[in-house]
Amino acid sequence: MNQRICIALLVLAALCGIAAAATDGESDAASQIAVTGITKTPETLMPGDQGFITVEITNTGDESVSIDRAKLYTSDLAVVNDNAYDTVGDIGAGNDMEFTFTVKAKAAEGIFYPSFYLDYTSAGSMRTSIPVIVDDTCPQVSLLGVPETFTGGKTEDITVLVGNPRDGELSAITITPVTDSVKSDRTSYFVGNLEKDESAEVAFAITPLEEGDLTFEISYKNGVNEHSTTVSIPMTFGTDKTSADLVVNEVAVSSSGGTATVSGDVTNAGLEEAYSVMVTVGSPAVATNPNPVAVIGALEPDDFSGFEVTYTMQGAGEVPVLVTYKDEDGNIYEETFYVSGGNAVAAADGDGETTSPQMPAGGPGGNRNPLGSMGSGFARIPVIPIILGILIIAGGLIAWKTGYLARGRDAIQARLQKKK
């Protein structure tokens, strides 16, 4: 009896040794499995975003290892393909294997740590924590070159600056002006990708048609997730402090026969050039020949030019002098000055709003300089008297050189002697 018990104990010990040896072998093989790479796309999620976590493992040993399943455990994120790797199989010696999990962020922001588990078929498992950031930071958007006030119909260059303050790339960035009451030289602009801390500038030529808000929409992708943000500024119409500002001075009114003439200088006291400057008179005066309209042309800042306009008017009273000009975008402006007693007074409604010039019939002209206006103070130089003086001097020199002057002098002296 004791012999039988001893034999049974020996057999049991042998079986336990065999099982332990097998377990140790399997454990040694499993210890050769290592996580060699973790990839997150996108790198940082926004609330509600869907992303991908890829875990790469490598069998660094000399034996094959049997894997039961791979799981991603988390209560902070939703794992969309939770059962994708319930059955895995063997990974050979020196081979790699990847597991990709689709996750979706919840509304909360923060840093979360889902756990990657690898369960072996025989026994044991491996666990790795993966940090995942959920951040609601949007692209930073600024508008550059915004004027203090806008002018209806005048084009302004507005630059949109987009920066990426997030950890990770933003892609498919597109900027679109979405205001109905403006004209733009671009319906949209595709920026493309911006890495972390990168920025891009895009210029838009904006022409406001009415007051309101100027709004730009910036659409972009964070991984496969589409997002958008907007930036707005108010468009309030007012006087542009840097535009051309035309002033009439040195005014004189004279009459001859049935017509009168108003003359003076037009000076550009603004900071921008005025184009296609013209001067005429308004009702009750009626512009008439020979100079119904004075065409001056372009006036640079601090430049001036003279003008003369002929007109007729029934009765006495102030004469409205109309000055029209264009800006560099072709917008037309009109200023009205009332002339009385040699002074020009700006009209109360001469606020430079865009109008359509009403020019009376008749050809251009009327500068006080008979050789035509040069768009500056040269119009006031007495060109014809200067030319006549030059001709007289030149004629005298020619007469002296050719001897005509000496012969004339001798002839005069001979006549005087005969009279004596």
Q: What is the CATH T-level fold of the domain 140-235, as seen in this structure?
A: Immunoglobulin-like (2.60.40)
Label residue 383 by pLDDT band (50, 70, 90): low
Q: In this predicted structure, which of 68-72, 157-161, 242-246, 399-403 has the lowest mean pLDDT?
A: 399-403
Q: Given a cut of 80, is residue 233 above it in pLDDT?
A: yes
Given this model, what pLDDT does residue 364 score?
34
Given this model, what pLDDT does residue 382 score?
56
The domain limits of the chain are 29-134, 140-235, 246-380, 384-419
Give residue-wise pLDDT tens across range 280-301. Answer: 999 999 999 999 999 999 999 9
Given this model, what pLDDT does residue 258 score?
82
Instruction: Yes or no: say if 187 and 217 are a contact pair by the CB < 8 Å rule.
Output: no
Given this model, what pLDDT does residue 410 score?
72
The percentage of residues in the chain with a pLDDT greater than 70, rounded to a whole number, is 78
Given this model, what pLDDT does residue 408 score?
66
Given this model, what pLDDT does residue 136 score?
96
Given this model, what pLDDT does residue 9 score?
52
Given this model, what pLDDT does residue 374 score?
40
Give residue-wise pLDDT tens across range 237-260. Answer: 987 777 888 999 989 998 887 899
Fold match between domain 29-134 and domain 140-235? yes
Give residue-wise pLDDT tens across range 94-125. Answer: 999 999 999 999 999 999 999 999 999 987 89
The residue ranking higher by pLDDT, 367 or 130, is: 130
CA dihedral 282, 286, 292, 293 (to 10 degrees): 10
Label residue 90 by pLDDT band (50, 70, 90): very high
Nearest Cα neighbor of 286 from 363, 366, 359 is: 359
Average pLDDT over residues 312-323: 89
Given this model, what pLDDT does residue 8 score?
54
The residue ranking higher by pLDDT, 21 or 214, is: 214
* 315-341 residues labelled b (16+ CB within 10 A) or e (exposed): eeebbbbbbbbbbeeebebbbbbbbee
Compute the mean pLDDT over every residue in the chain, rounded to the nearest whole number: 83
Instruction: Enter the CATH code of domain 246-380.
Output: 2.60.40
Give residue-wise pLDDT tens across range 323-381. Answer: 999 988 788 888 999 987 545 556 544 444 433 333 333 333 333 333 333 444 444 45
Per-residue tokens: 279? 């001067």
The residue ranking higher by pLDDT, 202 or 1, is: 202
Average pLDDT over residues 119-142: 94
CATH 1.10.260.40 fits 29-134, yes or no: no
Q: Given a cut of 60, is residue 5 above it in pLDDT?
A: no
